[in-house]
Amino acid sequence: MSLSGKRILVGVSGGIAIYKTLELLSLLNKAGAETHVVMTESATRFVTPLTFQTMSQHKVYTDLFEESDGFIPHIDLTREADAFLIAPATANVLAKMAHGMADDLLSATALAAHCPVIVAPAMNVVMYQNPATQENLQILEKRGIHVLYPNEGWLACQEVGTGRMPEATELFEALDTFFTEKDLAGTKILVTAGPTKERLDPVRFLTNDSSGKQGVAIARRAQKRGAEVTLVHGDIKVPVPIHVRDIPVESTEDMLEALKKEFPATDVLIMAAAPADFRPVEEQTQKIKGLDDGKVRAFSVLDTPDILRTLAGMKTDQVVIGFATETEKVLEHAREKMEKKQLDFIVANDVTKEGAAFDYDTNIVTILGEEVEKSLPILSKEEVADQILDLLR
Ligand code: CTP
């Protein structure tokens, strides 16, 4: 993960969104980042420094004039940081920053920042829309300060409008993106994820256990690495990442149709979905009724189209990457699939291994290509995603 080992200085000013900052600290620490905190006097009225100290596991700074052993907080804190995030950033803090004022530790630290500065404004909608605030934000952006713009929604002042600070998870994602090298900028990537469903009747269907986690992890990492990503997916158990174009589908045939439209304009297809391999010959329009005890019911099924094979047949200069879900002779079967489906690479997955089955957050794969055979240890699905995406550099 790109946040692991990063040192982030978090500046906290006095706004009700401060509770989200506490959750953010927890997310950052869980991801292996080191956090340090600077608070304004107003912020300490909402939450005590002790609470922040407990979350960050480091001393919290509030005083501009505190100096010990030659460590001058407003100069040295950002010297050692990889980024200075101010969240929440009140209208007052933004105004001070825009005009170079430095009358407390937080604003002095921002003025003396030796590292990139990111602000997450949070305030009442009227304060946010006031031309003074809007112009201050423009000034800050022009000077290279990154702004994580507020969302629209219910505000603590009992009004609806723009001014809500992004949620902790959104701030976390934004920081993670900030620290990720954009080595896939300019690449269009089409990713598939999850199972498809084949309907028997209006309330029943055939499907499989795929969670969509691996495909979603690929989409998330590709987006963070600067690619333009479209995700075509069935029912997935995890959310579609932000800034990823979302195309939900139901059946294997629907997935094929959606992909046929997208494929000519893409540079890469990564087929991590687990499309249902067969479908009932007929879909009943009415709910199938129960039978008397002991009677056998039979359904006829037909194979669904092989999506990869169909798309590989339409290939111009796209890179096509498939997955192989195997339970025996894994590499042999995967290579056969790669050749049969005319793939550039295949990611072989032995689902009998502990830590590699559908619903896990980890995977154990071997990446195969004409001249590639890369056996990877157990990794998180995000790490596996990065290994696959590295093939495209
Ligand atoms: N796949 C596909 N269309 C299907 C079924 C699978 O494009 N109708 C893709 C999967 O997304 C995966 C690759 O083909 O990238 C291999 O899928 P897998 O389930 O391992 O193999 P199958 O092709 O279904 O073959 P088999 O079930 O015989 O192993």
CB of 273 closer than 6 A to ligand 1? Answer: yes
8-64 pLDDT tens trace: 999 999 999 999 999 999 999 999 999 999 999 999 999 999 999 999 999 999 999
Closest by CA position to 11, among listed 141, 119, 143: 119
Exposure string for 65-103, b = 16+ CB within 10 A, e = fewer? eeeeeeeebbeebbeebbbbbbbbbbbbbbbbbbeeebe
pLDDT at 227 over 80: yes
Closest by CA position to 271, among listed 383, 347, 331, 359: 347
101-116 pLDDT tens trace: 999 999 999 999 999 9
CB of 337 closer than 6 A to ligand 1? Answer: yes
pLDDT at 161 over 90: no
pTM above 0.75, yes or no: yes
280 — pLDDT class (breaks 50, 70, 90): very high
Give pLDDT, residue 337: 96
Of the listed 50, 157, 242, 302, which one is catalytic? 157
In the reported structure, the alpha carbon of residue 130 is separated from the centroid of ligand 1 by a whole-number distance in angstroms of: 56
Percent of the chain with pLDDT over 70: 99
235-245 pLDDT tens trace: 999 999 989 99
CB of 304 closer than 6 A to ligand 1? Answer: yes
Give pLDDT, residue 69: 83
Inter-residue contact 371 to 339 (CB < 8 Å): no
291 — pLDDT class (breaks 50, 70, 90): confident
Residues pairing with 146 in the sheet: 118
CB of 322 closer than 6 A to ligand 1? Answer: yes
Q: How many residues does the chain have?
A: 393
1 — pLDDT class (breaks 50, 70, 90): low
Question: Ligand 1 pocket: which of 271, 331, 332 to mutate (most atoms <8 Å of CB)?
Answer: 271
Report the run of H or E that residue 141 belongs to, with start and end: helix 131-142
308-346 pLDDT tens trace: 999 999 999 999 999 999 999 999 999 999 999 999 999
Give pLDDT, residue 301: 95
Nearest CA owner, ligand 1 atom 21: 324
Place of tokens 């505190």: 66
In the reported structure, the alpha carbon of residue 309 is separated from the centroid of ligand 1 by a whole-number distance in angstroms of: 9
What value does the CA radius of gyration of the chain take, rounded to a whole number of Å? 26
157 a catalytic residue: yes
pLDDT at 292 over 80: no
pLDDT at 354 over 90: no
Residues pairing with 34 in the sheet: 7
Backbone phi, psi, residue 152, to 5°:
-95, 145
